[in-house]
Amino acid sequence: MSPRAPASRRTGWVFHETYLWHDTGTGAGPFPAGGWIEPMEHIESPSAKRRFANLVAACGLDRELVPITPVPATPEQVEAVHTADYRASVQAQAATGRGDAGDGSSPFGRESYAIAMLAAGGVVRAVDAVLDGEVENAYALVRPPGHHASAETGWGFCLFNNVAVAARHAQRRGAARVAILDWDVHHGNGTESIFAADDTVLTISLHQDGAYPPGSGPVEVVGTGAGVGANLNVPLPPGSGTGAYAAAMERVVRPALARFRPDLILIASGLDGNGMDPLARQMLHSDGFRMLARHAREAAEELCDSRLVLAHEGGYSPFVVPFCGLAILEELSGARTGVLDPFLAAIQGYGQELLPHQEAAVDRAAANVPRVPRP
């Protein structure tokens, strides 16, 4: 690991303690407790995010970052993406003390409407800071996550689609073309559906083939109507590691971004592609996420004056997530904390090389790049 070095870029950092107070109740894995399912902490718990924030503070990296105080999104900002009925339904359910965002696996508590508005608003504030030139790039460690939420409903632990709300806000502020890269290990189905017919927002999802939602995110889905070409799915076989993800970035993501020429790049930054995540079977480690962040930063520098905002999504290993997140923040800011990732060697040992069946999957996705709309 490199020795300590100060930040060379201004990187914004959005975090708020109340993100950890979003109450998902009890469950077992992704399922609600009840029947023969003995209650334990719901898997979308604060643990991984709290430990990520704690590591950033413990090693002093927070002092190298530019703090950005989140403010709640307005109903108008949320309703630029979601139906008014859905937003009001979350608000009304929360007022009763308990609710579910729509699929039976997205439970929430009394404060969760306000916290979800603060999550969306946190990403909006990060976008403002980048567009105003206060920072070059920013990471928003928000909760609840957002990328499975569609216009009409929550899904998969997600209430409001934070990154989609931020994209529409950016467009209203004059960033006409927005690219959203989703490296959460699960398909960004909500974001895909929201922008399916829109050729001003490029959506790209790297995900474990068919993992969640079941069967969602095949390579053939490229958008609808005017949006054909502006959605790219890169379903990677289970067991994909840094080699496969690097090939996806080099052969699909970077060429697609170069063709689209965004004014702003947003990342749906799920860290559940790590090799010890309980909800997926991919094999990224902290240096793999560092590589993803480097590609995102370089693309933003080349194409849109460095304008880059990452919004936290999934990531369910409380012990590995903090080190993956720290690596991303080091790459964004240029700082080096000297923190050693104790899990790196173990996950490297799983095998990280690009295998032929993974390469074939990347090449199938790359075949869709020529359809990405140019300005």
Build a one-symbol-per-residue string for 245-284: x at contacts with Zn ion by CB under 5 A, - elsewhere: -------------------------x-x------------
Helices within 111-237 (DSSP H only):
112-131, 162-172, 189-194
Segment interacting with Zn ion (CB under 5 A) among 167-175, 183-191, 286-294, 318-326: 183-191
> With respect to Zn ion, which residue has the nearer C-beta, 317 or 337?
317
CA distance 317 to 115: 22
User: Which residue lies nearer to Zn ion by CB, 105 or 306?
Assistant: 105
Applying CB under 5 A, which part among 107-115, 201-209, 301-309, 314-322 lies near Zn ion?
314-322
Pairing of strands 137-140, 107-109: unpaired
Helix (H, G, I), strand (E, B) or coil at 274: strand
Calpha distance 77→52 (Å, rounded)? 28
Q: How far is the CB of 184 from Zn ion (least distance, A)?
A: 4
Q: Which of 149, 163, 174, 183 is nearest to 120 (CA)?
A: 163
**Strand bridging mode 11-14 / 66-68:** parallel
- Asked if residue 182 binds Zn ion (CB under 5 A), the reply is no
Smallest separation (angstroms) from Zn ion to the CB of 191 = 12
Selected catalytic residue, list 16, 22, 82, 148: 148
CB of 278 or CB of 342, closer to Zn ion: 278
Site for Zn ion in 2-61 (CB under 5 A): none
Binding residues for Zn ion, rule CB under 5 A, total 5
Say whether residue 336 binds Zn ion (CB under 5 A).
no
C-alpha distances in Å from residue 201, one per residue of 64, 74, 179, 181, 215: 32, 22, 6, 10, 23
Pick the closer one to Zn ion by CB: 45 or 333: 45
Token duo for residue 353 = 């090389």
Could you give the CA distance from residue 221 to residue 205 in angstroms, rounded to a whole number?
11
Residue 72 within binding range of Zn ion, rule CB under 5 A = no
**Any contact of residue 192 with Zn ion (CB under 5 A)?**
no
Q: Which stretch binds Zn ion (CB under 5 A): 79-87, 235-243, 310-318, 321-329?
A: 310-318
Instruction: Indicate the helix (H) or strand (E) that contains 208.
Output: strand 201-208
* Annotated catalytic residue 148: yes
> C-beta of 74: minimal distance to Zn ion in Å?
27
How far CA 198 is from CA of 79, 171, 224, in Å, comes to 17, 12, 8
Cα distance between residue 23 and residue 324, in whole Å: 24
Count of beta carbons in the 10 Å neighbourhood of residue 34: 11
Of the two residues 61 and 266, which places its CB atom closer to Zn ion in the complex?
266
Q: Is 186 in the site for Zn ion (CB under 5 A)?
A: yes
146 makes contact with Zn ion (CB under 5 A):
no
Instruction: Please choose, out of 44-52, 132-140, 311-319, 325-333, the segment that lies near Zn ion by the rule CB under 5 A.
Output: 311-319
Residue 184 sits in the site that holds Zn ion (CB under 5 A): yes
Amino acid, res. 151: A
35 exposure class (CB count in 10 Å sphere: 0-12, 13-18, 19+): exposed
| Interface segment toward Zn ion; rule CB under 5 A; list 119-127, 217-225, 260-268, 313-321 | 313-321
Smaller CB separation from Zn ion, 165 or 321? 321
* Min CB(120)–Zn ion separation in Å: 18
Q: Which of 223, 314, 322, 325 binds Zn ion (CB under 5 A)?
A: 314
* CA 240/CA 283 separation, integer angstroms: 6
DSSP assignment of 90-128 equals HHHHHHHTEEE-SSSS-EEETTHHHHHHHHHHHHHHHHH
Chain position whose Cβ is nearest to Zn ion:
314
Q: Catalytic site residues?
A: 148
Binding site for Zn ion (CB under 5 A): 184, 186, 270, 272, 314
